[in-house]
Structure 1
Amino acid sequence: VSGYITDRAGQRLQNYQGYLFPTVFDKRSNYRTLANDSDSFIADFSVWDAIIFRGKTKVVDGQFSFSFNVPANINYRFGRGRMSFYADDGINDAHGHFQDFIIGGSYTSAAIDDNGPEIRLFLNDTTFVSGGTTNQNPVLLALLRDSSGINITGRIGHDMVAFLNNKTGEPIILNDFFKNNLDDFTQGRIVYPLGNLPAGVNTLTLRAWDTHNNPTQSTIEFYVSHSAILALENLLNYPNPFTQETFFRFSHNMPFTDLDTRIQIFDMSGKLVQEIRTTINSPGFASTPVRWDGKDLQGRLLGNGVYIYRLLVTTPEGHQSTKSQRLVVIR
């Protein structure tokens, strides 16, 4: 699909640089009112509500182009579809629609595709690892990829759906939360806020379909620690052993929070040889890396050997948690 942005007189805006957000609809769906009120009556009406593609593409010099695969589970009846457009360049926006096309039937020569989408699940950001710790209000981040495109129609039971703790009777429908990547119908992401999760071990399973109606599901496990309790996991330094420098990292359950962070390094006799102090505020559950150059409190390079380090993290409310590990210096 190709097109261009115009002014009200129909002239192409050659200086328009921005993004276009197209939404493609199947044919109108027909409905009938229920006439629930005593003074109402039954009326037939139709709406464009069956979305088959929603994307994002660049507008360059007022022109745009995008492509997508039509899902196999459209309404095969032939009829007029609709494309709705919204564009924005940071200053001016634009909108429009196009209905001069017919959608329906099937393409018998389509390439064979028997594989469902690839699904990768995270909480808050892509540094989260299954089995990690989170608070009770994380954000689900799902990255999906399929060479045929992702199915968002929701027809014939093909919803993009998630289940918490295998509660199949309480599905979370995610079709409206899926967004394709820029200029790429083969991959996109879901960002969905979760809330008030129970403390302890939880699982989330996501099921999605491609445009050939092949399903895939993926599951992530995580431990919920309520925010009042600071939880630290996965403390490590890399590289380890190291020669010139190393970086400390850990995971926690308090994203978007200023965490007073101290790393104390001791030799094997228990003497404090270095203390690093910083404030960490990360959008996810993985800390930003803390660098150490291998020098002691007097600025001298430490000798070869094994050292113990202790992490001490304090929240703005005064809650504390500690964790310890070993590192090795090799010069």
Structure 2
Amino acid sequence: MDGNFLLLMVLLMTLLGMAAMAISGPSASKATRRRVGLIRARHSGSHEAILEARMRKAISNRDTGTELKMLTSLVPNPENLTKRLRATGKKWTLNNYMLTCAGLALTLCAIMFIREYPPLLAVMISLAVGLGVPHMWVGRLIAKRVQKFTAKFPDALELMTRGLRSGLPIAETLGVIASEIPGPVGEEFKLITERIKIGKSMDQAMQETADRLDTPEFQFFVISLTIQRETGGNLAETLANLATVLRQRSQMKLKIRAMSSESKASAYIIGVLPFLVFGLISYINYDYMSPFYTPDPAGLFGLSLMQLIGIGGMCWMAIGAFIMAQMINFEI
């Protein structure tokens, strides 16, 4: 018991230290001087001051490599994880993500130690939750943002088509999309225009956005621009046809979602029902469900027979949910 208490205190102290590091930021004096410099550059009318402000913004947005320290050194492929964080549209860094994972794992581990669970089991479950839950949450944010981008992207192509037919150059139409289309589409096209202003070519700016979004719709758009630049042709007509194709793809996805909605609802009800009944019975008659909450030191990994049966049932339910999800996942 003394060893468990000492380990619990070490975990709590580590958690408090990580929370302090996450909350603490740069010094107030440096932040104040930086803001004053940006305000002066913004309100200065000289060309040199405007160019300097753009370069400062570009430098502040680049990767400095200072975030790849501490917990981030444990990540096997930090470039892919950084790309996923950027795809969410949030200003999250790799350090923030790893601190969140470690804090969640340490909190759950401390709670399980207080409940006197076996140390090996507590560490394994804490690591699984600490690494799995943030990964799933980031994936959910990426999917939601990509969905919003895909829904508004045909409108951006039609706006770009009208601008090209009215005689505007393609760079001006990109600026119009950035200012007129709300949501992720406007944000991404604004980043494209900013990259072009600081000296990058249009192909480089487009490809960086395509790599971050990783959607076939935007890849089609980049390929169309590349082919038109190499072979010539009516770009407005090409983009109009592309917008029509993307709308048809979106309609087909909506039809598939509508046809599979009944099966999804049934799967959600069947999947939630065992946990709901388990929680209600535990609340009504805790003594009857106490074997599920009481560890057995003589059992496998310190688990009782009821706990092993419950874990096995959850594994089979996870396999069934994965199979059903693959059955309604269609590539269009």
Instruction: Report TM bin, short chain.
Output: under 0.3
TM-score by length of 2: 0.22
Higher helix share: 2
